[in-house]
Amino acid sequence: MQYLLLIYDNDAETDPAALQEIVAAHMRLGAELAETGARVGGNRLRPADTATTVRTEGGVKSLHDGPYAETREQLGGYYLIEAADLDAAIGWAKKIPGGPNYSIEVRPIWPLS
């Protein structure tokens, strides 16, 4: 069973020194995921102000400068993992490092049969 772990955080909140430590912690987590065979993929994303949203309304497509939703916390990265069940996926989600305030959304992958 695969899960996407989406990291929502606020870049502006984290000071550069702390950020360095968080990046290092991500590297360690990535190694641990790879070691246990749980790692399928994952990446850090460029800040939300680099995002472009392609919106379709009434069948008409238009471009918007910015992320899908303007919220305080933004999608900053993700891990795609293999886990036996939701508890195991939540276990990994709790290990994802970050600043003082951030959220991890755990979403099961809907397999293409």
Partner 1 sequence: MDAEALLDEAVREAGDRIRAALAMRFRDLDMAEDAFGFAALRAVETWRRDGAPRDPAAWLYAVARRRAFDLGRRAQVRERAVHDAPEPIPDPETILMAAFEPIPDERLRLIFICCHPALAPEARIALTLRTLCGLSVERIARAWLTTEVAMTQRLTRAKRKIRDAAIRFEIPEPDQWPERLEAVLATLEIAYAQAYEDAAGVSDAADLARESLRLSGLLAELLPDEPEVLGLAAMIRLAESRRPARLDDLGAMTPLSEQDVGLWDAGLIRDAAGLLRRAADLRRSGPYQLMAAIHATHAARRETGATAWGDVVTLYDILLAVRPSAVAEVNRAVALAEAEGAEAGFQALAAIDAPARLAEWLPYQAARAGLCAKAGRQAEAADALRRALALHPAPAERLFLQRRLADLGKTA
Which residue, chain included where needed, has tokens 């460029």?
A: 46
Nearer to partner 1, 15 or 87 (CB): 87
For residues 79 and 94, the answer to whether their CB atoms sit within 8 Å is no
From candidates 11, 21, 32, 85, binder to partner 1 by CB under 8 A: 85
Which stretch, 18-26, 41-49, 58-66, 79-87, contacts partner 1 (CB under 8 A)? 79-87
Total of residues contacting partner 1 (CB under 8 A): 10
Cβ atoms of 27 and 65 within 8 Å: the answer is: no
Instruction: State yes or no: residue 66 binds partner 1 (CB under 8 A).
Output: no
> What's the first-to-final CA gap in the chain, in angstroms?
13
- Work out whether 103 is an interface residue with partner 1 (CB under 8 A): no
Distances, alpha carbon 54 to alpha carbons 43, 64, 106, in Å:
21, 6, 24
Least Å distance, CB 85 to partner 1, is 4
Q: Is 1 in the site for partner 1 (CB under 8 A)?
A: yes
Q: What are phi and psi of 31, to 5 degrees?
A: -65, -40
Binding site for partner 1 (CB under 8 A): 1, 84-87, 90-91, 106, 108, 110
